[in-house]
Structures are given as structure tokens and as C-alpha cells.
Amino acid sequence: VTWPRSVLPMAVRAGIVVTGTEVLTGRVSDRNGPWLAEQLRQLGVDVGQIVVVGDRPDDMRSALAHLAHSHDLVITSGGLGPTADDLTAEVVGQFQGRPLVLDQQLEKRIGAIVDRLVARFGGTLDPAATAAGTRKQAMVPAGASVLEPTGTAPGLVVPAADGRTGPPVIVLPGPPRELQQMWPVAVAQPVVHAILVAAPELRQRTLRMWGVPESELAAMLRRAGDAFDGLEITTCLRDGELEIVSRYRVQAEPAQQRLADGIRQSFGDRLFSDGPTIDELVVAALVANGWTLAAAEAGLGGRTTARLTSYQAPGPVLGGLVVARRDPADDATAPALARNVMALFGADAGLGISGPGQDGEPVQIAVITPGGEHARSVSVSGPAQFVRERVSALAMHQLRETLTAAH
Ligand code: ATP
Ligand code: MG
């Protein structure tokens, strides 16, 4: 839910076209739209829409027309490859009234990149096909700025041709790493920079609560009347956590402070974070106590162990064990898992989780620290995957609560 419906004042707005039939059909989930949205937010730019289209020129054209209408800047991702179905440069060129012309210097530079790749990875390529692909990638809309390739495909900044109106279009490659490397160069182009300097700072702050129904928060926000004017507040329920994200201009900082204070007053320590994730807080609490941790899970697929051990070593989490056994519910197993895994890794604290992980059946979670032993039984209803995610969230919160109480 988002309050209020109004948009942020003085907004510079960008629209994003993500191209790729693999993204449209869900075989690949879009990483470029969300990444670009956060980069733009950091530059003060509000993203109005992200449109996903397949590799079809007509759909790309209509997405461009749709976004150009109500945005100050349009960004595309994908469709810059050497093959005939990679059409973005051509479609964007047409759209901006700039037909493609061969950039001979660029053709040589791409040729050199391709030669280096072939030399490095070996193999034989048909020289005629390679040359055709290279030439295709060196065809750029007349008058566009070229962004040097970070893979083999160059990006582009394509302003509307003289006599036309409409926002410039930034054209970026599809592979996320290539797109991310090219982004700083794209925003430094004078045509883009001129738009971005008009964007005032757009701040974002995330509060996280645990064990609070969304309706209680909604009631509190309603009672507050106009105290939070100037904030765009989005609440989102995830894995039992309630995430409250506000976006606002600098002048609304006092309203954001009122929101944080109001939530703390109404919900006390159910507000567990002003920024960091629960996983980060667990690691921070271990570090604050000067303790190491080991984890063991039986019957739940290892979600929690993976979360705890995903931090860069050396960290306070020494290791974990995942057992595919399905234990029946009993009070002794989870504490025994915790104690044994502590001994195995020589850790100061242990987490043990045990249960069949089935719809509604009890799961034991035990946390052992130098301060004592805290075990409890939880039960979560739903499909197995849902049960595993929710048990993992419950275990992480039980860990954090135990570790911060001991501190
Ligand atoms: P090139 O063929 O030179 O890489 P391209 O810009 O069209 O040109 P694609 O061929 O469409 O890129 O995609 C290359 C790789 O990048 C594929 O693995 C694709 O799944 C991935 N990719 C493309 N777009 C996205 C996206 N929005 N999110 C995540 N991955 C993407
Ligand atoms: Mg593509």
C-alpha cells in the first residue's frame, strides 16, 4: 500500500524499457529495471514506469512512445547484440528521427574486442559472420553519443533529432554486469547530465517491524493526519516482517523523523530496524557480544544455514550443517542439534532447528548462548516452501532477540 497517492514534488521522472523475450516470459527475472531504479533514486530521479517488452520492434516502439509522453528521460536495456533479432539501436534511432550510420572507428574498436575474446577463449569463428556482427553493432543513430562497450556492444545516448521534441533515450546492453559498468559513463553525457542536475535529492529510509499486522500500522498512519505530508510511504509485508519505506525530499526530513518517532512510540521494540536487514542485525549482534555461532537444521532444507553462512569469511558464523532427516516433533532434538554443532565448530553460540517442515506441524527452534538456552516450538501453515521461508524468518528473529537480550 502506498500513501499518499500524490507524487513527489519537483520530480524529474525516468521511464525504463526492459527488452528481451526471455525476461518477458519469466525465464530470466529482470535485474536491470530494479538496479536502474535504485541508481536513479540516488540521483534524485523518480522512476515512473518500467515496461517489459519482448524482442519485437513494434512493441518496443509503442513502449518508447508511451514512456516518452510522460517522462523526462527514457532508458532501454537489451537488444544490442550482433544478431538480427537485436533491434534496439535501429528502433530507437527511428523513434528519435536519426537513421543508422556506420561508425567506422567504432567498427574497428569492436573488431579488436572480438579478436581479443576469440584469442582468449579459442575456438574458430566464421570470419564473415563475425565481421557482419561487428558491423551491425557499429551502426549507430546519426548524431547519437556512443558509450564504449563494456562487453562487445556499445551503448548510446540518443537525443530527439532537431525539430522534434521528446526526452533523450539512453540505450544500454542487456547483461547486467555490462549495463552496470556502462551506467556512470551514460549519466556523465552532457545531454543526460543537463536533465539530472534539475533533480533535487530524493531520500529514502527503511524501517522494519516484526509481529505487527499491516492494519495496525495503517490505523496509526491514518490517525496522524497531515503529520507525514511530504513523505511517500510504502508498506510491504514480507516473510512476516513489515517493511516501511519512505521516499521524500530534503525539506520533509522533519516529517520522516516524526514518522520514525511515532512508530517507535506506538510499537516499541517491535520496530527492530532503522535500515539493516534482520540477517545483518544478527551478525552485528554476534559481533557486539564477541561470540561466534554455528547452526544446524534438520528437515527444513537449509535456508537459515545458507543465510547465516552467506557473509564473507571470516565472520562470526563459523559454519553450519543441513540434515535431510525429518524429525518428529520433540523438545530435545533442536537443543541437541545446537549443542552438537557448537561443539563441532567450537562456537560460542548455537542455533538448532528441527521439524518435518510440513503444513502446520510443529518446528522446534533452539538458541544456545553463553547466557542460556532458549527453545520454542512454532507451527506454520502453508506449502512446504512457504513454511521453510517463514520458519527461517522466525529463527533469525529468535536469534536476534536472544543475542540482543544477552548483550
Ligand atoms: P548481447 O547479445 O550482446 O549480450 P543484449 O544487449 O541483447 O546483447 P541479450 O542477448 O538480450 O543482451 O542478453 C544477454 C544476457 O543478459 C542473457 O543472459 C540475458 O538473459 C541477460 N539479460 C538481458 N536482459 C536482462 C535483464 N533485464 N535482467 C537480467 N538479465 C538480463
Ligand atoms: Mg536481448
CA separation for the pair 97, 214 (Å, rounded): 49
Give me the pLDDT at residue 6, please: 45
What pLDDT is attached to residue 4?
46
**Ligand 2: distance of its center to the CA of 57 in Å?**
12
| Rounded CA separation 159/98 (Å) | 9
Whether the predicted pLDDT of 15 surpasses 60: yes
pLDDT of residue 407: 53
Confidence of residue 296 (pLDDT cuts 50, 70, 90): very high
> How far apart, in Å, are the Cα atoms of 98 and each of 91, 139, 161, 164, 320?
10, 11, 6, 11, 58
C-alpha span between 49 and 259 (Å, rounded) = 27
Place 335 in a pLDDT band, splitting at 50, 70 and 90: very high
Point out which residues pair with 205 in neighbouring strands: 246
Q: Mind listing the pLDDT tens digit for each residue in 118-137?
A: 888 877 778 898 999 999 99
62 is written with which cell numbers? Answer: 509503442
Is 175 touching ligand 1 by the criterion CB < 6 Å?
Answer: yes
154 lines ligand 1 (CB under 6 A): no
- Does the beta carbon of 32 lie inside 6 Å of ligand 1? yes
Mutation to probe ligand 1, out of 17, 18, 22 (largest number of atoms < 8 A from CB): 22
Query: What value does the mean pLDDT of the chain take?
Result: 92
Rounded distance from Cα 341 to ligand 1 centre (Å): 43
Closest-lying ligand 1 atom to the alpha carbon of residue 179: 6
Q: Is the CB of 316 under 6 A from ligand 1?
A: no
Sorted by sequence, the CB contacts under 8 Å of residue 7 that are 6+ apart come out as 46, 232
What ligand 1 atom has the least distance to the C-alpha of 152?
3
Ligand number nearest CA of 52 is 1
Going by CA atoms, what residue is nearest to atom 20 of ligand 1? 28
Ligand 1 in reach of 31 Cβ (< 6 A): yes
Band of residue 331 on the pLDDT scale cut at 50, 70, 90: confident
pTM for the full model?
A: 0.85
Choose among 111, 115, 183: nearest CA to 150: 183
Distance from the alpha carbon of residue 174 to the mean position of ligand 1, in angstroms: 4
- What is the Å distance from ligand 2's center to 78 Cα? 5
What integer is the mean pLDDT of 230-243? Answer: 93
Please identify, by atom number, the ligand 1 atom nearest to the C-alpha of residue 31: 28
15 Cα: distance to centroid of ligand 1 (angstroms):
19
Q: Which of 19, 29, 80, 91 to mutate to test the pocket of ligand 1 (most atoms within 8 A of CB)?
A: 80
The band of 87, judged by pLDDT with boundaries at 50, 70 and 90, is: very high
